[in-house]
Amino acid sequence: MTHSTITSKGQTTLPASIRRALHLKTGDRILYEIQDGSVVIRPQPGAMEVFGALKPPAGKAGTSFEEARGKSREAWAEETAREGQP
């Protein structure tokens, strides 16, 4: 069992053994969930993992994350141009 201390600001440091076990790196986000009086900590999936979990509609080819981001940027640029903003 591993322990840590809570600071006056309500912060704590995840022990290295926990970070290694969860494959956490600096900047990663984590989720906290209370289950039966205990706290469960797990890594928050990144955008690429969430995007990869989505399945395309039946009979349609999937879109890569980069393609979706490009289409989103194009749509934003077109909308901005229509509104006359720089």
Q: Number of folded domains in the chain?
A: 2
* Integer Cα distance of 29 and 38 in angstroms: 20
45-62 residue pLDDT tens: 776 555 555 666 666 666
pLDDT at 36 over 90: yes
Q: Which of the 8 DSSP states describes residue 85?
A: -
Is the residue at 75 inside a domain? yes
pLDDT for residue 10: 96
Read off the CATH number of the domain in which 8 is found. 2.10.260.10
DSSP structure string for 10-76: S-----HHHHHHTT--TT--EEEEEETTEEEEEEPPPHHHHHHHPPPPTTS----HHHHHHHHHHHH
Q: Could you tell me if 61 and 39 lie in one domain?
A: no
pTM comes to 0.51
Block residue for tokens 């989720």: 31
pLDDT at 24: 92
The residue among 13 and 80 whose pLDDT is bigger is 13
For residue 35, what pLDDT is reported?
94
For residue 80, the surrounding DSSP H or E stretch is helix 65-83
Residue 49 within any structural domain of the chain: no
Regarding whether 38 and 13 lie in a shared domain, the answer is yes
Q: Residue 12 belongs to what domain range?
A: 1-44
Task: Give the mean model confidence (pLDDT) for residues 73-85.
Answer: 80
Question: At 65, which amino acid appears?
Answer: F
> What local confidence, expressed as pLDDT, does residue 45 receive?
79
Domain membership of residue 51 (yes or no) is no
